[in-house]
Each structure stands twice: as structure tokens, then as C-alpha cells.
Amino acid sequence: MIDEIVADGKPAIPILISQLTDPRETKKPIYDYWGQTTAGDIAYFILNDLFTDSNWTTFNMPGLEALKEDCNGPAETCWRRFLKKHGRKFVQDQWLAAWKANRDRVYWDEQARCFRLSAKTGTR
């Protein structure tokens, strides 16, 4: 599935954003040690992965600072706590705003294997 998303390129991003509010549970959790995952969870983590450099530390989509909260617990606990506090629609709205602000600068960097933003609109 990920190969198809990458092959679709930028047009896949709004589709993933549209799925962020989908509460349907997967048949089995897709992450080790998670009790459950939903279609919205998967879309969120795919989006984050697509905009994170291969060094796994550099995130390339500005405007999503509101989605980062300090949490020292397990990933699933932190994610569920965040969703309970803010809701899936908040997550979707943040991603949609960031996408609208930056979509003309987004390009796929084959070497880094992630989406990045060019310095100027339409340079790639």
C-alpha cells in the first residue's frame, strides 16, 4: 500500500488528510504492542512518515506544531490522550491548513525518500 501511495505522489496527500477522521478499526493493530488502530491513525502516521527524512529526525511540513505535545508514555497512550483532548477533526484541520499553505512547494526527494518543501513556490 505504501508503494502505491508513494507512486501516486502529491495527489495522495489530500486523500490521506481526508482519512484522518476515519474511526474504523483495523482487523488487527498494525503496530506492535498497540491494542487497536483505526484508518485515521494509519493515515496520520503515514503522513508523518512521508514528511520525515530518512534520518527519522527531520520533519518537513511546517505549521503542525499544534500536533506536538510532550508525553513520556507509550506511543499509543500519548496518541489516544491527544485525540481525547483535541479530537480527530483538529488533527485533520491542522494538516489541511499546513497542506494548503505549502502544497505548491512540496516535492518528492528520491534520495531522502520523503516529501520536502522547496525554498520557493513552483521551483520543482
Taking only the tens place, the pLDDT of each residue in 22-49 is 999 999 988 888 999 999 999 999 999 9
Q: Would the pTM of this model clear 0.85, i.e. be above it?
A: yes
In which residue are the cell numbers 481526508 written?
A: 18
Smallest CA-to-CA distance from 114 within 19, 18, 63, 46 is with 46
- Tell me the pLDDT tens digit for each residue of 62-105: 999 999 999 999 999 999 999 999 999 999 999 999 999 999 99
Cα-atom radius of gyration of the chain, to the nearest Å?
A: 15
Tell me the CA distances in angstroms from 6 to 9, 26, 48, 108, one per residue in order.
Answer: 5, 21, 13, 9
In which residue are the cell numbers 520557493 written?
A: 120
